Amino acid sequence: MSWHLVDELHKRFPEVEPFPHDGGAHVAKDSAADAHAASGRGHGDTKFTHDVPGAWVAAGRLLEITRVLRDDAPFRLDYCSFVSAVDWPEQRIFEVAYHLFSMEKRHEMLIKVRVPRDDARVPSVTGTWSGANWHERETYDLFGITFEGHPDLRRIMMTEDWHGHPLRKDYIYEEPQWLVDLATQRQREIEGLGLGERA
């Protein structure tokens, strides 16, 4: 595992918040931050630990930190394999998650950014990893999180006239008008066949 990378990141950026994990230097302690981390993830009094090394970083430092993670030793995390999010409506936040991998060093790291649900914005990392482009578009499409500075931020899975963002936990499905019209047309076509009910 690559927990030593988290230690190094914390040395360079003391404000980052390492994930709690078992058997290492950052085992969860009885602090307010850890209590929030546990309760905010639906685990009650149980400490929530991470198997993949990583840390929470502030949105305002994201681009600076990601450039260091890509370019500097010992990180060399040159590949962003996915960007996604987790919705925590009771805490009124999203966690935007970035899984990073080093092709050279063969190690990995996960970083997360907390953003408020009512103003879900985070800088785009497409300038650091161009492969994050479609991942950010998918996260925008399904969660409604805006990636500021993205070169082409628009829906990628749902149609442009789709209402809402389906992976928000408070999402209520609403059929777009084109789907209502299509279903109505198909129903008329079926009725016009005069098949009646099968015996």
Please check whether residue 32 lies inside any domain of the structure. yes
DSSP 54-76: EEE--GGGHHHHHHHHHHSTTT-
Q: What is the CATH number of the domain that holds 76?
A: 3.30.460.80
| Contacts of 37 by beta carbon, 8 Å cutoff, 6+ apart | 20, 28, 48
Domain assignment present for 119: yes
Domain of 74 in residue numbering reads as: 3-156
What pLDDT score was predicted for residue 41? 45
Low-confidence ranges of the chain (pLDDT < 50): 24-46
Whole-model pTM: value is 0.80
91 within some domain = yes
Q: For residue 167, is it within any domain?
A: no
Structural domain contains residue 126 = yes
Domain membership flag for residue 161: no
Counted domains in the chain:
1
Element (H, E) at 33: helix 32-39
pLDDT at 30: 37
DSSP 137-173: HHHHHHH--EEET-TT---SSS-TT--S-TTSTT---
